[in-house]
């Protein structure tokens, strides 16, 4: 069974993260598949919108599959990983069609980063959104991710959310502007996603495309060198310990080294 599925209904491309047994934790293959789908959408009018969702009823996506981090040995491994994820998020942002993230259940780590890169986010009442890395792994977000989140939620809320490893519920996420609508359950969420995609399909495509790209350029105007911060976290004893503790379902004991 494919871990990332896609199909076309009417003029909408539906992309589904499909590892329900792992709350749709993202493998590198899934990341790359998403990027390729976003880069390859046609602009001839045959498709008008893209909807992203997660299978299984429990999660949109619960971040990167952490077993993949066991292969990290050098600082370059960490830098390459963040560059790879950055390229995926850039592909989502640059998708020429409007993107809708339909968020049900857990939306954390890499899943939350993907959602933040979409144009519109709607959620069911079961949403739990955040980056609990200060409690679990001890790694860090790339500066571009922090900038994207700050533009959506405000820098102060991003700091508080990450510093406390707190997950935002649907109502709070709507109040701070992260999501635009809260639906009662997954069925209502997916019905609304379909209706929203239809509405987007009726709009002037060049207006939407130009607005997307102009806003992306504004957000990318200030590039930040964060390589030293990525190396500090991913090469630390804490990161290695945190990863193994999480996989063993144990509480980590941070040393700051």
Amino acid 2: pLDDT: 84
Strands 168-169 and 128-130: antiparallel
Amino acid 222: pLDDT: 65
Mean of all residue pLDDT scores within the chain: 94
**Using one digit for the tens of pLDDT, what is the confidence trace for 128-143?**
999 999 999 999 999 9
Among the residue ranges 196-200, 202-206, 243-247, the one predicted with the least confidence is 243-247
Among the residue ranges 63-77, 165-179, 184-198, the one predicted with the least confidence is 63-77
Domains plus CATH for the chain?
Answer: 4-201 (3.90.226.10)
Is 80 exceeded by the pLDDT of residue 23?
A: yes
Amino acid 143: pLDDT: 93
Percent of the chain with pLDDT over 90: 88
Among the residue ranges 34-38, 60-64, 192-196, the one predicted with the least confidence is 60-64
């Amino acid at each position: 069974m494919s871990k990332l599925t896609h199909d076309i209904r009417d003029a909408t491309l539906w992309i589904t993260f499909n590892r329900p047994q792992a709350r749709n934790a993202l493998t590198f293959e899934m990341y790359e598949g998403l990027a390729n789908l976003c880069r390859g959408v046609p602009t001839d009018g045959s498709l008008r919108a893209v909807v992203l969702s997660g299978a299984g009823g429990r999660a949109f996506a619960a971040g990167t599959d952490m077993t993949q981090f066991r292969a990290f040995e050098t600082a370059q491994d960490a830098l390459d990983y963040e560059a790879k994820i950055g390229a995926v998020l850039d592909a989502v942002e640059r998708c020429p069609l409007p993107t809708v993230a339909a968020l049900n259940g857990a939306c954390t780590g890499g899943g939350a980063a993907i959602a933040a890169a979409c144009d519109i986010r709607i959620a069911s009442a079961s949403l739990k959104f955040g980056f609990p890395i200060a409690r679990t792994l001890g790694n860090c977000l790339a500066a571009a991710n922090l900038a994207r989140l700050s533009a959506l939620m405000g820098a102060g809320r991003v700091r508080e959310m990450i510093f406390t490893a707190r997950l935002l519920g649907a109502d709070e996420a709507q109040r701070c502007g992260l999501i635009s609508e809260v639906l009662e359950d997954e069925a209502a969420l997916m019905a609304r996603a379909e209706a929203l995609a239809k509405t987007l399909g009726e709009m002037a495509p060049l207006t939407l495309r130009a607005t997307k790209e102009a806003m992306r350029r504004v957000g990318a105007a200030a590039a930040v060198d964060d390589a030293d911060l990525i190396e500090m976290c991913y090469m630390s004893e804490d990161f290695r310990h945190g990863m193994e503790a999480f996989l063993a379902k144990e509480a980590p004991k941070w040393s700051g080294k």
